Amino acid sequence: MPASGTRSRIRFPAFARSDAARDVFWAWLAATTIGGVPSTFYAVVTRADPLEATRAAGAMLISAQSSTPALVAAATLVHCAVSLFWVVILVSLLPRRHVLAWWLAAAALVALLDLRAIAPLFFPEVARLDFWPQFADHLMWGGAAGVALRRRWKKRATAGCPAR
């Protein structure tokens, strides 16, 4: 029981408190939050189904014949997990100079891998989606992550903290 007037605090592992973990979190949050905007906007403007890509992503985890709410829930899990996977890999591999350019280039390569290699083999619903709106989503995802990281690293550099 904490002493009167003190707050008990949850202690996270050292990595979770590190700048690297925070970098991953903020890049992941930015990218995951707005990564689907281009294809959704395109669907609305062209009067197509704005949930088509969401249902396709959900079908990566559960049956494509599942209810729309179930597919949306599954798509949320898939999108969050896949985004985290790529953010962790790219934060550790990409240079810290020209951050936005590197992240956009990496996102374009990830799009080609995801949409032209992996989806046709394992996720037919995703493979059936229009390519360019999905490619735009990947670029938005990479741009958002790149901007978030550039901002964090620049802020740390001006505060005199090493960027690693």
What's the confidence (pLDDT) of residue 157? Answer: 83
pTM for the complete prediction?
0.86
Closest CA to 115 of 41, 56, 38, 42: 56
Whether residue 79 lies inside any domain: the answer is: yes
What's the confidence (pLDDT) of residue 18? Answer: 85
Whether residue 26 lies inside any domain: the answer is: yes
**Cα–Cα dist 122/26, whole Å:** 30
Domain that holds residue 137: 17-158
What's the confidence (pLDDT) of residue 6? Answer: 57
pLDDT in tens, 114-157: 999 999 999 999 999 999 999 999 999 999 999 999 999 998 88
Whether residue 1 lies inside any domain: the answer is: no
What's the confidence (pLDDT) of residue 39? Answer: 98
Count of domains forming the chain: 1
**Cα–Cα dist 40/50, whole Å:** 5
What's the confidence (pLDDT) of residue 13? Answer: 59
What's the confidence (pLDDT) of residue 162? Answer: 57
Instruction: Please list the rounded mean pLDDT of every run of 10 residues in the chain (164 residues).
Output: 58 68 96 97 98 98 98 98 97 95 98 98 98 98 98 87 56
What's the length of the chain? 164
Helix then strand then coil, in percent of the chain rounded to 5, is: 70, 0, 30
Whether residue 40 lies inside any domain: the answer is: yes
